[in-house]
Amino acid sequence: MIVASVVAASSGCTAGLNLGEAPGTDPPSAASPVRPSPVRPSPVPTASPGCTATTVLNTWSLRRRAAQLVVVPAEQDDVLATAPLVAAGVGGIILFGSDAPSTLPAELAALRRTAPDGVPPVVMTDEEGGEVQRMANLVGNLPWPRTMAATMTVTQVRALAEQVGRRMRAAGVTMDLAPVLDLSDSSGPDAAHPDGPRSFSVRAPIATAYGLAFAQGMLEAGVIPVVKHFPGLGQASYNTDYGPASVPPLSVLEAGSLRPFEAAIAAGVPAIMVGNASIPGVTGGLPASLSESAVTGLLRHRLGFHGLILTDSLSALAVQDAGYPVPQAAARAIEAGADMVLFDSAYPTATVNAIIASITTAVTSGRVAVTRLDDAVQDVLRAKGVSLCR
């Protein structure tokens, strides 16, 4: 079985997804078959005798470990403003804006050099296609996913994603918060409809085939794809950015919205973003991103996902309306089983420090086990291809 390698993607090696027939789906007749590429195994660093990741992490302060779980927002035309946070050990940077400056590659390289102990942040952005593109001027244009599925073969989508991904990687971007695996044929995106043409299709087989082709292309370019928004927002009652929303009950999700995610997990995708909609009968009214039943119970245990789990933005009104300011939401998400937390802010430094303090307090109080914190840190480091024992 050919599976994705998170380390391979992070190190720029070719990785493969198992893109054979997905469980519970049939390939769309209009799509060309996708043949997986051979995996080039990533070299495994030689560990020092007696060294384990756990022993090294025990030498890190709780604050340093917590920082690895935080993704700081940055405007593309001012990324160096995050340098103090990178030097403090934050785990990731998410780029915002719609026109990337030509100086971005050099500035990201400079940021990486400020990271402590050679553990750089993962640099991510939303390069989905259509109107959800941050750096098309540098990496090339992607059509809306719905347009890709209607006008291109899966082979063409895979090739286009690889082309764009190679340019992203050359610019210093190592993770793409795409593809969207939600099932939708609605209008939008707007307050009532989170997806619109961000979705490849309302049909699970088509969304699966095209979404995994896109993910494969990114992996082959050395960029980590993040499939989203688990468990699927195509039938959400509202856009969680604007307020509380719920998706149908699990029995309904199993017949449709969950299928692309099940197929992606079976194919070996390296990372999944959990959305902020509640799941009736599962999350007790909480956003899925904050629910242990959704993140650990459903995604980890029931569906068997072992890769990196990121939250959708914890600044969403759905999270705030549930009674969780961003710092408290971050600690709750880590407790639930997430590995990295995302948020939006024009002034991120204070928020990052408050998140780190909130997670640290949750650990020292016993609400979050140290083993849960360390598991999350190790998931982040694996996604970066970082070995603590060299």
Strand 175-176 versus strand 308-313 pairing type: unpaired
Residue-by-residue pLDDT tens, the chain, 390 positions: 223 333 344 444 445 777 654 434 444 433 333 333 333 333 444 556 678 888 899 999 999 999 999 999 999 999 999 999 999 999 999 999 999 999 999 999 999 999 998 899 999 999 999 999 999 999 999 999 999 999 999 999 999 999 999 999 999 999 999 999 999 999 999 999 999 999 999 999 999 999 999 999 999 999 999 999 999 999 999 999 999 999 999 999 999 999 999 999 999 999 999 999 999 999 999 999 999 999 999 999 999 999 999 999 999 999 999 999 999 999 999 999 999 999 999 899 999 999 999 999 999 999 999 999 999 999 999 999 998 887
User: Looking at residue 319, what is its pLDDT?
Assistant: 98
- Contact call for residues 267 and 4 (beta carbons, < 8 A): yes
* pTM for this predicted structure: 0.91
Which tokens belong to 375?
A: 């598991």
Domain boundaries, the chain: 6-18+68-384
Backbone angles phi, psi at 280, to 5 degrees: -55, 135
Measured over the CA atoms of residue 222, residue 228, residue 234 and residue 240, the dihedral's sign is negative
User: Looking at residue 134, what is its pLDDT?
Assistant: 97
Backbone angles phi, psi at 276, to 5 degrees: -105, 10
Place of tokens 């940021």: 111
Q: Which CATH class is domain 6-18+68-384?
A: alpha beta
User: Looking at residue 101, what is its pLDDT?
Assistant: 97
